Structure 1
Amino acid sequence: MYIDTGTGQPYIPTPSYFLGCFDIYDQEETLGEELERFNPNDAADREELILKYCLVGNCTYRQRFLLYKCLEKALQDERYDFKSLLRYDPEAYSSFPCGWDEMENTRTFFEDILRLAAVEWKDDLHKASVEDQATWITVN
């Protein structure tokens, strides 16, 4: 199991990790307005959203590999409820741009993330894939 060197805790990503960059809580007038210019149901807008916001975080190559693999596994499960990841929760300290909880096909959104990550993260994914993941257990 990979230990996040920043927190010292196990790093166990879920597909929701790809959505953190779209959280507009307390940023409605800045990030929120910027994201509302995009239509996540439009293929071109969706690609721009993913490339500009989703795949540019400060992840290590190992974290990218684990993120990619967790999303790949979720997409293999026909019953995985991607729509629930965008569901509005009034009790949560997070929110997505207006209308995102009504996205036409959330699975397609995540399929596009996986497709684009395979291209954008190609070198990192390869580097991690040839390592022995058992050596990732150590804490720095």
Structure 2
Amino acid sequence: MFIDPGTELPYIPTPSYFLGCFDIYDREETLGEELEKFDPNNAADRELLITNYSLKGKRSYREKFLLYKCLESALLDEAYDFQALLEHDCQECSSLPNGWDTMENPRIFFEDIYKLASKVWADDLRKAEAEDRSTWYYI
């Protein structure tokens, strides 16, 4: 199991990790208003959202690789419910911008994340791919 060096907890990513940067809970008047300018159903806006927010987070090259591979697995699963990742849970202290829960095709949003991550993270993905991943795992 890969241990996140920052938290010393197992790093087990899901595709939802790409959405954390869009959480506007308690930031509706700042980040929320900023994100309201974009339409995630529009390809050009989607590219800006993904490159300027989703792929900019501080992640190690190993975290990027594992997150990328987790998304790849989800995309290969025709039954994976990407819509469920966008639904608001009133029991959680998080929320996505207005209208994201009714995105026309969430799978396309995540397909675009995958395509753009392939380019933006290319060097990090190659570096991780070249390593023996068994040396990453600690318990």
TM-score by length of structure 2 reads 0.98
* Partner Cα distance (2:92, 2:106) in 1: 20
Q: What is residue 4 of structure 1 aligned with on the other side?
A: 4
Q: What is residue 79 of structure 1 aligned with on the other side?
A: 79
Q: Give 4+ residue runs of structure 1 displaced > 2 Å after superposition.
A: none
Per-residue CA deviations over 1:13-66 (Å, capped at 9, x if unaligned) read 000000000000000000000000000000000000000000000000000000
Sequence identity percentage? 65
Aligned residues: 139
* Partner Cα distance (2:27, 2:85) in 1: 19
The amino acid across from 1:126 in the alignment is R
* Partner Cα distance (1:7, 1:89) in 2: 25
The amino acid across from 1:65 in the alignment is F
Matched ranges for 1:104-123 at <5 A: 104-123=104-123
* Partner Cα distance (2:43, 2:106) in 1: 12
RMSD: 0.8
Q: What is residue 45 of structure 1 aligned with on the other side?
A: 45
Q: What is residue 133 of structure 1 aligned with on the other side?
A: 133
The gaps in structure 1 that reach 5 residues or longer are none
Per-residue CA deviations over 1:61-95 (Å, capped at 9, x if unaligned) read 00000000000000000000000000011111000
* Secondary structure of 1:90 counterpart: coil
- 1:2 deviates by 1.1
* Partner Cα distance (1:16, 1:62) in 2: 17
The amino acid across from 1:98 in the alignment is N
Matched ranges for 1:54-65 at <5 A: 54-65=54-65
- 1:138 deviates by 3.7
TM-score by length of structure 1 reads 0.97
